[in-house]
A and B are shown apart, each in its own frame.
Chain A
Amino acid sequence: MPGPNPIPSFGKVLVVGGCGFLGAHIVSLILKRHPQSQVAVLDLRTTSNRHASPSVSYHDGDITDASAMQALFTQIKPDVVFHTASPHFDAPSKIHDKVNVEGTDILIKAAQDSGVKAFVYTSSASLVIDASMTVVNADETWPLITGAAQPEYYTTTKAFAETAVLAANRTPSSFLTCAIRPSGIFGEGDVQLLPPMLSACRKGQNKFQVGANTNLSDFTYVENVVYGHLLAAQALLQTHAMLPTIPLDSERVDGEPFFITNGQPVYFWDFARAVWHAAGDRKTLRDIWVLDRDFAMAVGTILENACWLLGKKPNINRKQVRYSTMDRYYNIDKARKRLGYAPLVSLDEGIKRGVEALLEKERREGEKKAQ
């Protein structure tokens, strides 16, 4: 395994959103890499994605409830907090405000009051994407796009939360924070990337390609994202151990954001085709129709409006067209240098695992229905 050797224990760890897609994977990898840690999971409902290990405890709770959070933090007294909770991308603005902004503030306050050493926030790589919808090899020096310049309200609230987390670093001086910005997470249990791609394939939409397919995209296998989180926590704990000494600016992890990707940007449609291939599709390049981007945008506009009138969901919309034709990739040198990060699992292996898990899940559900 590349990177620094894992320390055997993080002490007491609280994973906020630990029953979600990313959170559940964080719990598993902590148990694997830092087996002597005590893990507590906080989630709105802790029924799904539960880990069987006895060293994991589950706590139902709402992060927007300040007094409940204070009580929970006093009870658990975590050393390390991973804050992965976030509403679905398509949720209404009010929910984003409530969970991402207020919820994060409440968690920061509770963590500061209960003596947490390391606080790792799951941010998003979209924070630097503006209305031009193009990001070419961006690094952490790029400014955050928020407010009127930010096309997605979800992203604005993620940026506010990240800024708050990083601003709280070293207040008090023993409270260390950092933020991980993953791009395009996929893997076992993912609901936002692989499932829609697979259903597009089943509808036969994989015979179309929008744009010239020269746009590079960063997709990140979930375990690599998790690995980035764990390396960040370990680095924060090591910084904590040498308090009050502050590391050199060029080596600092506390108070810093990090892009985490697979470090393997690929052409968007190549990723999609690799996913489809893994799911059994055998289309060749000759079977594919290339649609001009502007044409697809026009079709998207018409369909969106027509479907809005009919109250249906369009098969193609402008957001998808933009997403599939935009350059969106990052430079992860900072994470490589300061965290010792290198992806554990390659893109093709990740796709294989993710698609297999998805097909397996469908098989199980199919069997259940049949019974």
Chain B
Amino acid sequence: MPSIGTIAFYATHPAQLRSIIQWKVWHNPVHEIDESKQTESLQRCFHFLRLTSRSFVAVILELHPELLVPVSLFYLALRGLDTIEDDMTIPLQKKEPLLRDFHNILEKDGWNFTENGPNEKDRQLLVEFHVFVEEYKKIKPAYRAIIKDITERMGNGMADYANNAEHNLAGVNTIKDYELYCHYVAGLVGEGLTRLFVEAGLANPALLKRADLHESMGQLLQQVNIIRDVREDFDDKRRFYPKEVWSKHVDNFEDMFKPENKEKALAVNAEMTLIALSRADDCLYYLAGLREQSVFNFCAIPQSMAMATLEVCFQNYDVFQKNVKISKGDACQLMTESTQNLQLVCEVFKRYARKIHKKNNPNDPSFLKISIACGKIEQFIESIFPSQKPPVDAKKNPASAQEVERLKKEANEAKWDTIYLISAVVLTIVVITGTMLLTAWMAGARFDIAFAQMKVQLGQLLGTDDAKAVSPKVSPGGHSEL
């Protein structure tokens, strides 16, 4: 039963409710699987997928059958890695080798791990990790190689960060470091997924050559999460906003959370938004390379959500106080719009770019750069779906002053030609009429009678009295023998 507050919200925001109903009623999964027919261990894997991923599970379970299991396992492998990395109760000397060796663990029959702290939310996945291994060994070797490679690189990246005492104490230093961190935790996922899509023949192989594009896919998602979660991370003693950004406005990271520094915190927020926003056009470019609807949906939904989240966080000081989220109605509308085609996703990006632009503060140091980033998104969309075509009839416009003269002269000549032609016609009619009348008169026609009668008839038509008076006078007296 929904709370009174919820009911009141939807009663006053019917459009939100409409989006939710539309999504629930009209969305048909592109592909569906019957989980009850799967092996027990795979069913258990899906269970863990549901448990560990609230935002991705729906899109993963609708994926093309060829990729459903590999992508699910890819997700679980990385989640397992993450569960070790996140757990502060595991000592470093134990954690590091685990992280560095995790790509081999994926293939170790019966491997599981029970040393996670009791509060680690996803610990059960590692407790029963053998179900993962069992299924992992069944997928195509090509997919396995990709998952293994990414797991290895990510594990090493995480181990480096875990080792880096400075990172753990002071957080991220430069924007470059920040993007490197996002590369390890998200950019690599983008690479792995792209390789899986191409391997399955569901994406354009050219995407493999454009590392910058799938990198941006991961960066945008991760950066938006970092921007949104700044409060939660701060409470957990983690800092991902690079010092290079916040130190321009505040002396200490924690100063951003003091209400008296609201303006400064929002300036940091604006610059963080700018860094994320500059990835948006790459993401649209990437989406253009996907060939299958379920893969498209899988990639497009999180991107649209990220744009919407970025917008709701932008210039919003609540981000530094609490957890900010997009509304459920907006989320449903975004899912509907992101499961159709690229053009609609472009519209979503444009809509949110303009919303960001509308909130852009002219006194913020990043003001013009954000405006430029929004303009870049709009221009990119225009380059793939142009709204204006070059005028075609303009091709016959004059190209020089001489041509204008010539056109003027031609127009003038044409005008005189018309005048001559009409004069000739009029003259011909006059001559013929005159000749006929003359001939008739010569033959004795009485035009005076004809004229008088015409006057009478005209008078009758107009219904005047004097016409009646005239008519009898004319008819007897005027007749003569012909």
B400 contacts A264, C-beta separation under 8 Å: no
Per the bound structure, the CA–CA distance linking A130 and B397 in Å amounts to: 11
B362 contacts A273, C-beta separation under 8 Å: yes
B400 contacts A163, C-beta separation under 8 Å: yes
Q: Judge if A69 is at the interface, Cβ distance under 8 Å.
A: no
The DSSP consensus for interface residues of chain B is: helix
A137 contacts B390, C-beta separation under 8 Å: no
Q: Judge if B262 is at the interface, Cβ distance under 8 Å.
A: no
Q: Judge if B379 is at the interface, Cβ distance under 8 Å.
A: yes
B398 contacts A146, C-beta separation under 8 Å: yes
Q: Judge if B5 is at the interface, Cβ distance under 8 Å.
A: no
List of A residues within 8 angstroms of B401 by Cβ: 97, 101, 157, 160
Interface-side segment among A74-82, A251-259, A279-287, A305-313: A279-287
List of A residues within 8 angstroms of B397 by Cβ: 143-147, 149-150
Q: Judge if B382 is at the interface, Cβ distance under 8 Å.
A: yes
Nearest A residue (CB) for B402: A160
Per the bound structure, the CA–CA distance linking A285 and B354 in Å amounts to: 15
How close is A350's CB to chain B, nearest CB, in angstroms? 10
How close is B311's CB to chain A, nearest CB, in angstroms? 15
Are A144 and B368 also in contact (CB < 8 A) when A137-B379, A282-B363, A285-B361 are? no
Are A144 and B399 also in contact (CB < 8 A) when A137-B383, A267-B357 are? yes
Q: Judge if A345 is at the interface, Cβ distance under 8 Å.
A: no
A351 contacts B390, C-beta separation under 8 Å: no
List of A residues within 8 angstroms of B398 by Cβ: 146-147, 160
Nearest A residue (CB) for B392: A143
Interface size class of B (residues with CB under 8 A): 35 or more
Are A160 and B400 also in contact (CB < 8 A) when A274-B368, A277-B363, A347-B368 are? yes
A interface footprint on B327-362 (CB within 8 Å = 1, 0 otherwise): 000000000000000000000000000100111111
A277 contacts B362, C-beta separation under 8 Å: yes
A interface footprint on B369-386 (CB within 8 Å = 1, 0 otherwise): 101101110110011001
Question: 20 A–B contact pairs at CB < 8 A?
Answer: A146-B397, A146-B399, A147-B397, A149-B394, A160-B401, A213-B357, A214-B354, A264-B372, A265-B376, A266-B375, A267-B371, A277-B362, A284-B363, A285-B361, A327-B388, A331-B379, A331-B383, A347-B368, A347-B372, A351-B368
- Interface positions of B (Cβ within 8 A of A): 354, 357-363, 367-369, 371-372, 374-376, 378-379, 382-383, 386-388, 390-392, 394-395, 397-401, 404, 407
Besides the known contacts A101-B400, A138-B390, 13 further A-B residue pairs in the complex with CB atoms under 8 A apart: A137-B383, A143-B395, A144-B399, A147-B404, A147-B407, A160-B398, A164-B400, A266-B371, A267-B357, A270-B362, A270-B371, A277-B363, A331-B383
- Interface positions of A (Cβ within 8 A of B): 97, 101, 128, 130, 132, 134-138, 141-147, 149-150, 157, 159-160, 163-164, 213-214, 216, 264-267, 270-271, 273-274, 276-277, 282-285, 327, 329, 331, 347-348, 351
